[in-house]
């Protein structure tokens, strides 16, 4: 028999049911594949958004195709914080046009709300932005306040805005003011 020091070293066999490890003390890290890069463009800047809005609105007011305008706005992928400025642009672009075009602009804003692109709050912010610009706009459009009142009325009719008070409240307030309109007539 050969002395144990002269014998080759014995390897240990793993217990039954276990897979043998091949000289590695730990499992190698799993190689993960990198996800494919998506060609996601960043959202448009404010200036780009306003130019695109002007293009879409002008095309819509000329053609009258509301579905195309809504899809054009959707494709812009406007960030939520730019929506009021975009809606302001829609209102301002229609102010110096015909009553029919103002009606189209109102219906476009209403459609954008129905499609979930814009909200009532977005419209209210846009409307207030346009009201703030009234002194500048009055130079070019003398009846701007009247036109904005029409926008507000259409917004209430299309339920973009909700009335806070009703007709009875207005009548009561008028009677409390004790203004006699008949005495004011010529």
Span 114-131, pLDDT tens digits? 888 888 888 889 988 998
pLDDT-derived band at 92 (thresholds 50, 70, 90) equals very high
**Which CATH number is 131's domain given?**
1.25.40.180
Total number of domains constituting the chain: 1
Q: Is residue 123 part of a domain?
A: yes
Closest CA to 117 of 155, 65, 82: 82
The token duo for 15 is 């217990």
Domain range for 156? 46-173
Q: Is residue 60 part of a domain?
A: yes
Q: What share of the chain is helix, strand, coil (3-state, %, to 5)?
A: 60, 0, 40
Q: Is residue 14 part of a domain?
A: no
Q: Is residue 25 part of a domain?
A: no
Q: Read off the pTM.
A: 0.64
Query: Could you report how far apart the first and last alpha carbons of the chain are, in Å?
Result: 139
**DSSP string covering 85-112, please?**
HHHHHHHHHHHTS-HHHHHHHHHHHHHH
Q: Is residue 4 part of a domain?
A: no
Q: Is residue 10 part of a domain?
A: no
For residue 11, is pLDDT > 80? Answer: no
Q: Is residue 51 part of a domain?
A: yes
For residue 13, is pLDDT > 70? Answer: no
For residue 91, is pLDDT > 70? Answer: yes
The token duo for 82 is 């730019």
Q: Is residue 12 part of a domain?
A: no
């Amino acid at each position: 028999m050969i002395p144990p020091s002269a014998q080759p070293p014995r390897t240990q066999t793993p217990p039954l049911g276990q897979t043998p490890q091949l000289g590695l003390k730990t499992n190698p890290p799993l190689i993960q594949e990198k996800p494919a890069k998506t060609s996601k463009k960043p959202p448009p800047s404010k200036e780009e958004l306003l130019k695109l809005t002007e293009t879409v609105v002008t095309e819509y007011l000329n053609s009258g195709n509301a579905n195309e305008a809504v899809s054009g706005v959707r494709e812009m992928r406007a960030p939520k914080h730019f929506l009021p400025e975009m809606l302001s642009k829609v209102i301002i672009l229609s102010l110096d046009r015909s009553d029919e075009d103002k009606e189209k602009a109102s219906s476009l804003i209403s459609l954008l709300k129905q499609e979930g692109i814009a909200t009532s709050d977005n419209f209210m912010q846009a409307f207030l932005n346009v009201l703030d610009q009234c002194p500048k706009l009055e130079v070019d459009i003398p009846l701007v306040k009247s036109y904005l009142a029409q926008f507000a009325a259409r917004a209430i009719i299309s339920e973009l805005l909700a009335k806070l008070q009703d007709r009875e409240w207005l009548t009561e307030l008028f009677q409390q003011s004790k203004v006699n309109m008949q005495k004011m007539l010529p």
